[in-house]
A and B are shown apart, each in its own frame.
Chain A
Amino acid sequence: GAGVSQSPRYKVAKRGQDVALRCDPISGHVSLFWYQQALGQGPEFLTYFQNEAQLDKSGLPSDRFFAERPEGSVSTLKIQRTQQEDSAVYLCASSTGLAVYNEQFFGPGTRLTVL
């Protein structure tokens, strides 16, 4: 079966532009996570959805970051007025949402470069 897919794989934006990053989770997966990975660092949590509900957005670095999952499947991470410090790989992960296990399946990421 298909894994988690993300698009675009690479995005170059001029400072001040708005960008939208898409995540297609594994079909039927209830939970969806977004992470940000700066160069040379481990991924850091941004936000989390259970179906269409955004249960935790404590990791979003500023109000320029916005995420949605309106129908409980595909999710979009939007960054407004991009800044150079937003340059990173943005990873999406999905999981079944079962209470016991925490096996998350990751997509390949979107590498965002802000010039």
Chain B
Amino acid sequence: DAKTTQPPSMDCAEGRAANLPCNHSTISGNEYVYWYRQIHSQGPQYIIHGLKNNETNEMASLIITEDRKSSTLILPHATLRDTAVYYCIVPLPGNTPLVFGKGTRLSVIA
């Protein structure tokens, strides 16, 4: 798996956009970037994934740089329920185990 680097923690005010960065400088051309999050005492939850184009779904947006060496997960209007650990993962192609790392602990503050 390509190694990813994330800041250990971030704060965000409720209602503001949360921008979570991830570096994956060793990513290969056919490897996707996946984001999962884990709310306290729950299992991880898939958020979004992308290859090279920006992606948006009902949960978040994913912005991938043109050289694909970094990406940003954007929660457009963070709520208290978005407080969680966010993991940026670049798994080997196909149906392979996920390597989680330590992630970014996002605290949304009222």
Q: Does B54 contact A (CB under 8 A)?
A: no
Contacts of A18 in B (CB 8 A): none
Q: Which of A42, A44, A91 has the most CB of B within 10 A?
A: A42
| A102 and B32 form a contact (CB under 8 A) | yes
Q: Per DSSP, are chain B's interface residues mostly helix, strand or loop, or mixed?
A: loop
Tally of A-B Cβ pairs under 8 angstroms: 61
Contacting residues of chain A (15-59) with chain B, CB-CB under 8 angstroms: 31, 33, 35, 41-45, 48, 50, 56, 59
Q: Dominant SS at the A interface?
A: loop
Partner of A91, one of B44, B46, B102, B103: B44
What interface size band does chain B fall in? 20 to 34
Interface size on A, residues (CB 8 A): 29
Are A91 and B43 in contact (CB-based, < 8 A)?
Answer: yes
Let me know if A97 is at the binding interface, CB within 8 A: yes
- With A102-B34, A103-B49 already in contact, the answer to whether A45 and B43 are too (CB < 8 A) is no
Complex contact B49–A59 (CB within 8 A): no
| Chain B residue with the shortest CB-CB distance to A41 | B102
Beta-carbon contacts under 8 Å, B89-110 to A: 91, 94-103
- 9 new A-B contacts, CB < 8 A, other than A41-B102, A102-B32, are A4-B43, A35-B98, A42-B103, A45-B97, A91-B43, A93-B44, A98-B95, A103-B34, A105-B46
A-side interface residues toward B, CB under 8 Å? 4, 31, 33, 35, 41-45, 48, 50, 56, 59, 91, 93, 95, 97-109
Q: List 16 A-B contacts (CB under 8 A).
A: A31-B95, A33-B97, A41-B102, A42-B85, A42-B101, A43-B98, A59-B97, A93-B44, A101-B49, A102-B91, A102-B98, A103-B34, A104-B44, A106-B43, A107-B43, A109-B42
